[in-house]
Amino acid sequence: MTDIPETAKHPSRRGFLGRAALIAAGPTAAAILGPTLITTGAAKAEAASVDDLPSFAPVPPSSFGPPLNADGYYVGQIRDNLYWVTDGFYQSMFVTGTRGVVVVDAPPTIGHNLLRAINQITARTDTPSTVTHLVYSHFHADHIGASSIFGGDVVRVGHVQTQRLLREAGDPNRPPPTMTFKEHHVLEFGDDRLELAFHGPNHSPDNIFIYAPRHRALMVVDVFFPGWVPFKSLAVSQDIPAWVRAHDIAMDYGWTTLVSGHLGRLGVRADAELQRRYIGDLDASVKQTMTSLDPTPFFQQYGPSGNAWAIFKTYLDAAAQQAAAPVTEKYLHKLGGADVFTVDNAAALFESLRIDAGTLGPFGIRP
């Protein structure tokens, strides 16, 4: 079990001053980079002109969450004693009770602000701030890389594959779970419970669903991105077909609030349905591109030199651009980053359809 360190019980003056100096540069940079990197970056600002960076469409206002505080985080109530924390890029959630706190995920960009958020809420509710359990959604460092700040006494809970992968990783910031399960596990504490379930690989080989039935809240990480298109290459998922199926699995739960693990706001069912439509439209556009984009010019241009990689690169790049174009236009004012990652998402789906589903397009069985 972990008691909140005294240094985390009050706003960090150093963090506040570092971030206050960055207001003109934007709150998101201050939240994720912190004072050390900000200072370093400012010293090198002249070396990297903003004129060299691409421009993107404005983000729809509905994509943004609540403003962050001076320390660079926001903590809010989901329902009753269930809370969530964000730094605008990552999310965690926790449940308070008479015996302590149960936390789900510890993103390093939130870091010690997670401890500050817990202390802020438990002081207000007059409940213990001791963290008794830390649940891992999956093994990726960007979501649990601050696990070490909870010390050695906290009970870490995760899938058996999470334990295996973390033992192989040997990362001191991500101690392997000591309580594991294969398919289902119910974590009970007082009148509350978290239902943990593994429905097979999706984003990662071990990504689980965490459901709080009394609060009607589901946390599933790196599947949905409320208000935004999915991160690059369909969230860099290792099993694209299973990642797509995970959308349907999530909708079978009776949740009204979604904690997605990323970005600055919670989700509702309408967000999930909108992302499913985005994926469906992208799938249809990729398949249409497979039947309409003639690979002949790419073979004619690069074939005589024998550069097979040039043939495939230029064809696949053109296919991703063509497939993404109508989807980007449709969702540009509905989802943040539609013009940022839709080409990458189209490329990932194109490759998955070709390799995983056997939808080979012009590269089918030679007649």
Of 33-37, 48-52, 194-198, 207-211, give the lowest mean pLDDT range: 33-37
Q: Is residue 137 within 8 Å of 146, Cβ to Cβ?
A: no
Can you give the pTM of this predicted structure?
0.88
Give tens-digit pLDDT for 3-18. 544 444 444 433 433 3
Q: How many CB atoms lie under 10 A from the CB of residue 361?
A: 17
| Position 365 confidence tier, pLDDT thresholds 50, 70, 90 | confident
Distance CA 337, CA 76 (A): 25
Instruction: Give 146's contacts (C-beta < 8 A, 6+ positions apart).
Output: 106, 107, 108, 110, 111, 112, 114, 173
Give tens-digit pLDDT for 93-143. 999 999 999 999 999 999 999 999 999 999 999 999 999 999 999 999 999
Query: Which residue type does 204 have?
Result: S
Token pair, residue 343, equals: 């080409």
Short-list 277, 282, 254, CA closest to 341: 282
